[in-house]
Amino acid sequence: MAAYSETIDLYSDDGKLLKSGVTLDKISPLVNPATSKIIDLTKRTINVNLGGIQNALKTGKLGKGKSKIRGRELDLAIMENKDAIVARIKEMVQVEEGDDTEILEFNNGQLLLVQVPKKRLMNAATYDAAITAVASATTYAIVDQFNIDAFNASTVKAACWGGYPHTMDMEGALVSSILSIPQNNEGIGFALRNVPVNHVVMMTGRNSLQGVALASTLETAGEFEMGAAIGAFERYQLLSYAYQGLNANNMVYDLVKANGETGTVGTVVQSLVERAIEDKVILPGKKGGYFQFYDTKDPMLWNAYVAAGSLAATIVNCGAGRFAQAVSSTLLYFNDLIEHETGLPSCDFGRMMGTAVGFSFFSHSIYGGGGPGIFNGNHVVTRHANGVAIPCVVAACALDAGTQMFTPEGTSKVMGETYGKIDVFNKPMDQIAKGVDLIA
């Protein structure tokens, strides 16, 4: 990738300086060790709800909606035999003795987080290799431990695998991944953007800026994967990632602090424009009657400022009301006001606004099919903005006080109880700043 001389300062979620003078390339998902670890663990860590499997088998509630299949109940002491089952899973999942296979236990072993060895993914075409290995190993370990016969083994399989292969994906499975299956991706490179907002909210413990950093990391990595960060567009993506996702130069924090008590979406627009003028990112251009146009010699840096402003406006507005639903209209009208105020392009050259229009309709307008928390960057409604919309949605849902039909606790509790205990997922801002020091 290109070498960059321009630098940024990285700040924490509470406005404290983490690392100064960081060249832009050192936050790249292709370079920074912490972002690499996030991407690596996203692909090769799998949830196993061992306690859930025991309960599902005992009641016969298997597959989608936990439909109860009478006569197929199996009362197995899975938790009493947890250690033997875990050891067996590890033995089957690992490629070599002592490799990077690891199984973490949570909630007294009721939840497992299985880290599949890298060799399994290196020698596979897709990241499916992780969940299939773990689901098969879990099924086999339980069947083996309790000497399940051929007529009942399919019931154990249904608890672990869900509806697959009757369904295309593992619907209702108690073995799960952050990632959806490749067949559900909207196109090339969308896998890392196919993580529901509520998952990110729970993994970062409802911390808005840490959630933004995690979502932005996954979104930016996705943009790199789909070829949107080649040539001049690499700097475009990295600047947006830095200023919006990683609170570069403390911009998001400063904007929120200045407007948090009595501010509105409109006052965040004013603050952002003032900051851009002060930093000489934009300067007055021609006048048209009463209207003052602005010019910029660096449209990519201007875009990064507007991305940060869009996030700040979201935090100010949705934070004041403690409602997530306002995120789409905030993204729409903040950017509409930016264009009217400056005559310059809004975030992602209008794609943020376009995304917000469709998002308003599908999240809570006439259609009203779901709340913001169940959307992701792969969704047909929210996929269009290049990595800058979903982080704002994460911030809104982190600040939401329970107004959604689908709350983070309702859809993604297990993500907080497992992935949320791992530092790179829980505190990505801090870990990415530390990762800079590890780059040669």
Domain boundaries, the chain: 7-31+191-437, 45-184
Pick the CATH number of 7-31+191-437 from 3.40.50.10490, 2.60.40.1840, 1.20.840.10, 1.10.3720.10: 1.20.840.10
Given a contact cutoff of 8 angstroms between Cβ atoms, the answer to whether 73 and 57 are in contact is: yes
Task: Look at strands 67-68 and 61-62 and give their pairing.
Answer: antiparallel
Q: What are the CA-CA distances from residue 349 to residues 190, 300, 353, 388 (Å)?
A: 21, 10, 9, 11
Specify the CATH architecture of the domain 45-184: 2-Layer Sandwich (3.30)
Lowest mean pLDDT among 10-14, 132-136, 315-319, 363-367: 363-367
For the cut 60, the answer to whether the pLDDT of residue 366 exceeds it is: no
208-236 pLDDT, tens digit each: 999 999 999 999 999 999 999 999 999 99
pLDDT band at 66 (very low <50, low <70, confident <90, very high): low
Query: How far apart are alpha carbons 255 and 262 in whole angstroms?
Result: 12
Query: How far apart are alpha carbons 68 and 66 in whole angstroms?
Result: 6
Q: What are the CA-CA distances from residue 375 to residues 157, 322, 381, 398, 413 (Å)?
A: 29, 18, 8, 14, 16
Cite the beta strand spans of 45-145 per DSSP E. 45-49, 61-62, 67-68, 102-106, 111-115
pTM of the model: 0.95
Residue 287, beta-bridge partner list: 292
pLDDT for 3 = 82
Query: How far apart are alpha carbons 381 and 315 in whole angstroms?
Result: 21
Is there a catalytic annotation at residue 333?
no
Greatest Cα-to-Cα distance within the chain, rounded to the nearest angstrom: 84
Lowest mean pLDDT among 28-42, 331-345, 355-369, 419-433: 355-369
pLDDT for 365 = 58
pLDDT band at 371 (very low <50, low <70, confident <90, very high): confident
For residue 434, give every residue at least 6 positions away whose Cβ sits within 8 Å of its Cβ, in sequence order, or none: 19, 34
pLDDT band at 308 (very low <50, low <70, confident <90, very high): very high
132-147 pLDDT, tens digit each: 999 999 999 999 999 9
Mean pLDDT of the chain: 95
Q: What are the CA-CA distances from residue 230 to residues 42, 220, 235, 378 (Å)?
A: 23, 12, 9, 20
Given a contact cutoff of 8 angstroms between Cβ atoms, the answer to whether 203 and 426 are in contact is: yes
29 closest CA partner among 162, 291, 174, 214: 214
Percent of the chain with pLDDT over 70: 98
31-61 pLDDT, tens digit each: 999 999 999 999 999 999 999 999 999 999 9
pLDDT for 368 = 55
Given a contact cutoff of 8 angstroms between Cβ atoms, the answer to whether 43 and 121 are in contact is: yes
Residue 175, beta-bridge partner list: 48
Single out the catalytic residue among 140, 241, 367, 419.
367
Across 185-189, 205-209, 324-328, the highest mean pLDDT is recorded for: 205-209
For the cut 80, the answer to whether the pLDDT of residue 364 exceeds it is: no
Residue 102, beta-bridge partner list: 115
- Tokens representing 393 are 């949605």
Given a contact cutoff of 8 angstroms between Cβ atoms, the answer to whether 435 and 213 are in contact is: no
